Amino acid sequence: MSPKRVLITGGTGFLGSHAARTLSSHGYDITRTARNPKTGIEAIIGDLNNEDFVASLKKYDAIVHLAGNVSVNHVIRSPVEGIKNNIIPTLHLLEKTNEDRSMFIYASSDKVYGSPGKAVVSEGDAICPMDPYGASKAASENIITSFARTYGCRTAIIRFGNIYGPGQEGDLFIPSVIAQIRKSDRIQVGPVGSFRNFIFVSDAVAAIETVLAGDVCGTFNAATDNARMSDVLQTLLKIAEKYTEKRFIVISDKAAGRPASVEADRFELDCKKMLGAGWKPGYDLKKGLEESYLGSG
């Protein structure tokens, strides 16, 4: 039997790179797409907003759609660009999926839940996003569900917590703190009183492979930890102090970070459905943060 042919969009990005390496090592025939070339990585270069580009792609057994704007802050600052880049490619890829009868796996976010007003949230609970990023993911989810119901497309939506791990860059909290630790003993952060759901990148890839290998359709939550941002910060600083013997000074900038109006109340993701599908995560937050720190040098 020939290996399953899988197209990974955003295949040179953080999650896409980890997914491509892992799935390839497990025998999948992987092709990546990317908007821009990246040295040393083979990928089909093109813009997923371009319908003709998407239509030109060959047929695959599955499409794992990881491309798009992943930064909540970026989409808040540039909502038109961010929403466009998170929705239009999804629509074009779904058209391709319907034509080829492929499986479609979509990386969504727990931000679709907004502030749900309950301690533990399952996939059947209402989605009510609070910011443009969450709205773009929720809109994409609705389009995906409509294609599944109308055309019989095989689709899986995974609502991830905050994905982190080695090699991550950008303005997300964990990589930005690690980058500052590497450069200075003075760490500047915004408000750190809110809670987030977290998942280490290897566990996120394992969730993708769970639905891919099992050809499992539906909507799934995927996270392993729920923690206050201040605790994440302190854990990272303790890890860095263990390896560097430096002592760090934290500088709080209340003007940085997201508007308080879009900070959700604390809630955890109920992941029993994903676990029931065979997902076996391997990292808790402390182990994941240490590996993230060691892998960032």
Asked if residues 220 and 157 have their Cβ atoms less than 8 Å apart, the reply is yes
Of 99, 126, 100, whose CA–CA distance to 115 is shortest?
Answer: 126
Residue 155, phi-psi category: left (phi > 0), alpha (psi -120 to 50), beta (remainder): beta
Q: What is the pLDDT of residue 8?
A: 98
Number of domains in the chain: 1
State residue 1's pLDDT score: 44
Cα separation, 51 vs 53, whole angstroms:
5
pLDDT attached to residue 230: 97
Residue 12 lies in a domain: yes
* The pLDDT value given to residue 170: 85
Give the CATH number, domain containing residue 209. 3.40.50.720
Is residue 178, in this structure, part of any structural domain at all? no
Q: Please check whether residue 66 is in contact with residue 11, taking contact to mean a CB–CB distance below 8 angstroms.
A: yes
Burial tier of 52 (Cβ tally within 10 Å: 0-12, 13-18, 19+):
exposed
Domain region containing 206 = 5-164+198-226+266-283
Contact 1, 27 (CB under 8 A): no
Assigned domain for 278 exists = yes
Q: How wide is the angle at C-alpha 284 spanned by C-alphas 202 and 273, nearest 5°?
A: 70
Please check whether residue 241 lies inside any domain of the structure. no
Q: Establish if 20 belongs to a structural domain.
A: yes
Rounded to two decimals, the pTM is: 0.96
Query: Is 149 contained in some domain?
Result: yes
Residue 132 located in a structural domain: yes
pLDDT along the chain (297 residues), means of 10: 84 97 97 95 97 97 96 92 97 97 97 96 97 97 98 98 95 94 94 95 98 96 97 97 93 78 89 98 98 91
Cα gap 260→250, rounded to integer Å: 20
In a domain, residue 214? The reply is: yes
Both tokens of 101, joined, read 């009868």
Please give the distance of CA 125 from its chain centroid, rounded to a whole number.
20
Q: Of 175, 196, 162, 203, nearest to 70 (Cα)?
A: 162
Q: Which of 117, 78, 81, 103 is nearest to 158 (CA)?
A: 103
101 Cβ neighbours under 8 A, 6+ residues apart: 154
Kindly give the interhelix angle for 79-100 and 132-151, rounded to the nearest 10 degrees: 20
